[in-house]
Amino acid sequence: MSSKSALAEVEFPLTNSLEAHWMPFTGNRDFKQKPRLVTRSEGIYCWDQNGDRVIDGSSALFCCPAGHGRKEIADAVHKQLMENDYVAPFQLGHPTSFALAQTIADLHPEPLNRVFFTNSGSESVDTALKIAMAYHRARGEGQRIRFVSRERAYHGVNIGGVSLSGINKNRAAFAASIPHVALMRHTWLEENRMTRGEPEHGAELAEDLERICQTYGPENIAACFVEPVAGSTGTLIPPKGYLKRLREICDQHGILLVFDEVITGFGRLGAPFASQKFDVVPDIVTMAKALTNGAIPMGAVAVRDEIYETITDSGAENAIELFHGYTYSAHPAACAAGLKAQEIYAREGLFERAAELAPYFEDAVFSLKDHPMVFDLRVIGLMSGIELHHDGVPGRRGQQVQKDLFWNGCHVKFTGDCAIVTPAFIAERAHVDEIIDKIRKTLDQHV
């Protein structure tokens, strides 16, 4: 069936063709045979092209903790656009960006007080790479050009982030990535399979960083990037003591520790950021997604005072200090959406609410423990990985289950054979039950 005729069946009012849009991270040919279009979203639900209700089990793509369709955010964006729609961000400013930067800084522990704005998680990661390089250069250690990342890492899709990637499919076709990146081992261990909470085994995996230092010389390494909880690969929770050990090794060798919190930031772990959850303060934090509750694209990078000051003090007086920035850095509409989203999170106590719901959520996910399709379960805060046994071809079953689940009325983001269930923080227990029931019924169809 051509995609044109597939579309005709769904009475999509805007166009007769799906061909022009080359969709991201999507099997375009497969999708266009039987499209899954979302035409409306509200709260924890969305509706497909047939008018059927679909519960959102992944806060869309980990973006909407306050639920969809928050009128207050739309109103704030509308007001901002009518008052001051766009301001050139180089050499000019506008009040909303300073207010949002302060709000974000206040969510982080000291001394993470300086915030650089981007438009996505990928841009945040590439910005962090450049800040790390500029910082060492300003300190007279410009030889630090190596980076450390981890197997199974996802750091977005720009060339910097792809170079840090530990997911084969995300880098295989793109040979021209940046050199000098060494990967630590990932933190999934068989001994921790099906265990609850932070894994007991594996803190010693942090010693991989020390081994890389010994191989390449620690004085040549600029930064170590980790997702505190590896998200896109399917929620890999750090073993107890692992992040603290990374911090120690970085401190010992003058290496910057970067937490990529594009998924974990803004309450997903039941604390504002991973630094509070794990009691480890990084040097740089990358953010995006829930910053604006998904309403407007936006990312941010928070850095320690000392990093900001070292770079800004190194420039000639009155000169530009960091030759970096985006045309849409701190776009007024995005700042307005971000400020309103943060206000809602605080007013409704959503991070606390996520922490309160977390034990119930964990029990609900672990109710799938004995399902014959389930290989592993991992839960922290309102973030989980439900990993299925593969069917011989890794990823094939996951893709089919994801599609069937949607037609059974539940959207969940899958990576390979792992469902990444991350409900909105406004979810009630009944919503958690509905998501898990729909997953169970869909898995039953595949036994």
Ligand X SMILES: Cc1ncc(COP(=O)(O)O)c(C=O)c1O
Using CB under 6 A as the criterion, which residues of the chain lie in contact with ligand X when the complex forms?
120-122, 125, 154-156, 227, 231-232, 260, 262-263, 288
Nearer to ligand X (CB atom), residue 264 or residue 442: 264
Nearer to ligand X (CB atom), residue 5 or residue 327: 327
Pairing of strands 284-287, 299-304: antiparallel
The C-alpha angle with vertex 416 and arms to 377 and 9, in degrees rounded to 5, equals 115
Who's near 338: CB < 8 A, 6+ residues apart? 100, 103, 104, 291, 292, 296, 298
Minimum distance of ligand X from residue 271's CB (angstroms): 17
Minimum distance of ligand X from residue 165's CB (angstroms): 10
Minimum distance of ligand X from residue 309's CB (angstroms): 26
Minimum distance of ligand X from residue 429's CB (angstroms): 27
Question: Which position's Cβ is nearest ligand X?
Answer: 121
Strands (E), 141-187: 146-150, 181-184
Nearer to ligand X (CB atom), residue 156 or residue 199: 156
Nearer to ligand X (CB atom), residue 198 or residue 227: 227
Pairwise CA distance, residues 352 & 346, whole Å = 9
Nearer to ligand X (CB atom), residue 258 or residue 379: 258
Query: How would DSSP label each residue in 258-305?
Result: EEE-TTTTTTTTSSSSHHHHHT---SEEEE-GGGGTTSS--EEEEEEH
Stated as kind and residue range, the H or E segment containing 410 is strand 410-411
Minimum distance of ligand X from residue 308's CB (angstroms): 22
Contact by Cβ (8 Å): 146, 140: no
Sheet containing 146-150: give its strands across: 112-118, 299-304, 284-287, 256-260, 221-226, 146-150, 181-184
Nearer to ligand X (CB atom), residue 155 or residue 304: 155
Minimum distance of ligand X from residue 289's CB (angstroms): 6
Nearer to ligand X (CB atom), residue 120 or residue 442: 120
Minimum distance of ligand X from residue 413's CB (angstroms): 9
Pairwise CA distance, residues 447 & 445, whole Å = 6
Peptide bond into 95 cis (omega under 30): no
